[in-house]
Amino acid sequence: MNLKLFGSSLIVAGTALGAGMLAIPMVLAQFGLLWGTIFMLFIWAGTTYAALLLLEASCKVGGGASMNAIARETLGKGGQFVTNGLMYALLVCLLMAYIIGAGDLVQKVLSAVGFELSNSTSQIGFTVLVGILVSAGTGAVDKLNRVLFTGMILSLIFTLFALTPNVSFDGLADVVNKDKVELIKTSSVLFTSFGFMVVIPSLVTYNKQASKTQLRNMIVVGSTIPLVCYLLWLFAVVGNLSAQQLVQFANVSELISVLSQQYRGLEFILSLFTGLALLTSFLGVAMALYDQNSDLLKANKPAVYVTTFILPLLGALFAAEHFLAILGYAGFILVFLAVFVPISMTLKVRREPVVDNGVYQAGGGTMGVSMIFLFGCFLLYAQVV
């Protein structure tokens, strides 16, 4: 087994598999398990193929540690400027969210053992320490992510084992909401749940010696892991709680609270999963932004470190109330960055003569690119409908 490729797949999965998965049953259960599953498979297929287009563009330009490098080679200065703008807007917003969530989690954990810290101190400490690990390089992130991801999956397995024996098949077919327009509106939640494409350039550079088949499998396996986890979690929760109950929950905390009342110790396990999911997502997103800054600034590590983490940290410390409004646009930004930008890059590199037949190219040809363009239009429609 190639541990670098396996670890890279886990980085893809860990970046996608965030704490937001806990909310998926509340979003999809009202439409019934069948429609929820079909729609999730549709979103997964679209995002995975778009990621393979980005993989093709990255490979054909000789690899690139960041979206900036690939955009520079394929889209020119104008496209590079637009891509960088979208990339920074998305990554800074996401890192702000993760720092806010992690600071709150660190504060609660330390408070439970009798060590009190302010929320701002917790946020600063988390960002500084994890930022140092990110600056150590993709290899260090890979090794740490393997440990964290293992713990996250074990906590999920434990939860599923606790829930599955009491699954009631009677509730799996319940449909509370038959409005398919409302189902389409859930696209943004599901799409961001597979938002891993930002790490692809870094992983292509990290796996320079890998074959095109290995790189393709790295992406497909990495995207399939969260798909399986989402579907198992959806099945287990819908089998234990009715769709009518799930629709009434205002947030994930209420869901965890109800499940914890039925199953002793589950609150700790789900909290552990949430913390690990947040950390693995932070590592993937921070790695992408760090490599982006490293390629763009051509500066030493301390300078890249500061430019990567100072803005998200300041945003988390001083602008959290405004950030919540900004976060609503993150899914909109991601559609352009994860679908339309890779399409543009791929069309550009396919116009160039093929020099090396061993370089990866996504299947589907013009039809595949056309279908993924329509997929992107569908996601935009779902954002504004």
- Position of tokens 């679908």? 339
**What pLDDT shows up at residue 259?**
84
**What pLDDT shows up at residue 356?**
61
- Please state, rounded to an integer, the average pLDDT across all residues of the chain: 85
Query: Is the pLDDT at 44 greater than 70, yes or no?
Result: yes
Share of the chain above pLDDT 90, in %: 23
Sign of CA dihedral 286, 292, 297, 298: positive
Token readout for 385 is 């409908």
Lowest-confidence pick of 180-189, 196-205, 322-331: 322-331
| Residue pair 66/201 in contact by the 8 Å Cβ criterion | yes
pLDDT digits (tens, 9 = 90+) for 141-175: 999 999 999 999 999 999 888 888 887 777 667 77
d(CA 287, CA 305): 11
**What pLDDT shows up at residue 202?**
87
For the ranges 70-84, 220-234, 262-276, 326-340, the maximum mean pLDDT occurs at 220-234
Query: Is the pLDDT at 219 greater than 90, yes or no?
Result: yes
- Position of tokens 């205002």? 250
| Residue pair 65/205 in contact by the 8 Å Cβ criterion | yes
Report which DSSP code applies to 353.
P
Contact residues for 192 (Cβ-Cβ < 8 A; gap 6+): 20, 330, 331, 334
Query: Is the pLDDT at 94 greater than 60, yes or no?
Result: yes
Owning domain of residue 134? 3-384
**What pLDDT shows up at residue 341?**
92
| Residue pair 333/90 in contact by the 8 Å Cβ criterion | yes
Token readout for 52 is 């393979």
The tally of domains found in the chain comes to 1
**What pLDDT shows up at residue 328?**
62
**What pLDDT shows up at residue 357?**
63
CA 132 to chain CA mean position, Å? 21
Report which DSSP code applies to 178.
-
For 7, 104, 140, 198, 205, the CA distances from 146, given in Å and listed in that order, are 6, 24, 10, 19, 19
Buried b / exposed e along 287-303 (16+ C-beta atoms within 10 A): bbbbbbbbbbeeeeeee
CA atoms within 13 A on the CB side of 12: 30
**What pLDDT shows up at residue 19?**
67
Query: Is the pLDDT at 41 greater than 90, yes or no?
Result: yes
pLDDT band for position 261 (cuts 50, 70, 90): confident
First to last CA, the chain: 46
Taking residues 213-220, report their average pLDDT.
92
Taking residues 217-230, report their average pLDDT.
94
pLDDT digits (tens, 9 = 90+) for 274-316: 888 888 888 989 998 998 888 888 888 888 899 999 988 988 8
Taking residues 62-70, report their average pLDDT.
75
**What pLDDT shows up at residue 63?**
65
**What pLDDT shows up at residue 107?**
80
Contact residues for 143 (Cβ-Cβ < 8 A; gap 6+): 7
Q: What is the dihedral of CA 273, 274, 280, 284, to 10 degrees?
A: 150
Lowest-confidence pick of 7-16, 39-48, 165-174: 165-174
Tell me the CATH number at 214.
Answer: 1.20.1740.10
Which ranges of 263-319 does DSSP label H, i.e. alpha helix? 266-297, 301-318
Query: Is the pLDDT at 324 greater than 60, yes or no?
Result: no
d(CA 385, CA 16): 25
Query: Is the pLDDT at 1 greater than 60, yes or no?
Result: no
pLDDT band for position 216 (cuts 50, 70, 90): very high
Taking residues 337-355, report their average pLDDT.
86
Token readout for 263 is 């199953």
pLDDT band for position 238 (cuts 50, 70, 90): confident
Taking residues 359-373, report their average pLDDT.
90
Between vectors from CA 277 to CA 332 and to CA 340, what angle results, nearest 5°? 25
Better pLDDT: 369 or 21: 369
| Residue pair 15/284 in contact by the 8 Å Cβ criterion | yes
**What pLDDT shows up at residue 323?**
60
